[in-house]
Structure 1
Amino acid sequence: MDTPDVIAQLQRLGERFDELATRARRLAEENRSLRQQHDQLAGERSQLLTRNEQARSRVEAMIARLKSLEQHT
């Protein structure tokens, strides 16, 4: 192999390394963003489940009161 060939291969290897490093940084940032989004959505889901359970309890209490009123009339 000639020296120019070796130099050209090393340059291509360096360029490929730079591309991979850039891709790794981009994927790490995307992963961080997705984890943050997941955490936010999990929190929202938890709040919605709590509100749903509270609403269910209120509806059940109203139904019980209505049944109680029906029995007294």
Structure 2
Amino acid sequence: MSGFDFNLFEKQVDELVGLCDRLREENASLRASQEHLVAERAELIEKTELARSRIEAMVLRLKSLEDQL
């Protein structure tokens, strides 16, 4: 063990701890972004369904008017 460099080992451990901290922060940020995007997607799906039902209702009204002529 006489050739073991404790200073180098300590530096490498510090770098590893720093990397773990950065990855933990990045992971939290990505999870927050994912939650936001999932909520936004749900909102867009709801708006799309509302628009679809309104368009279908308009088409039915137009067909009804056409049948009356």
Distance in 2 separating the partners of 1:10 and 1:50 = 60
* Matched residue type, 2:20: A
Q: TM-score scaled to structure 2, two decimals?
A: 0.95
Alignment of structure 1 residues 30-41 onto 2, 5 Å:
30-41=26-37
Measure how far apart 1:43 and its partner are.
Answer: 0.3
Q: Taking every aligned residue pair, what percent have the same amino acid on both sides?
A: 43
Q: Paired residue for 2:23, among 15, 20, 27?
A: 27
Which of 46, 49, 53 matches 2:49?
53
Of structures 1 and 2, the larger Rg is shown by 1
Q: Which has the higher helix share?
A: 1
Q: TM-score, normalised by structure 1?
A: 0.90
Question: Partner letter of residue 42 of structure 1?
Answer: V
Q: Which runs of 5+ in 2 are unaligned?
A: none
For residues 60 and 35 of structure 1, the distance between their equivalents in structure 2, rounded to whole angstroms, comes to 37
Q: Letter of the aligned partner of 1:32 in structure 2?
A: A
How many residue pairs match? The answer is 69
**Partner amino acid, structure 2, of 1:69:** L
> In structure 1, which of residues 31, 42, 46 is the aligned counterpart of residue 38 of structure 2?
42
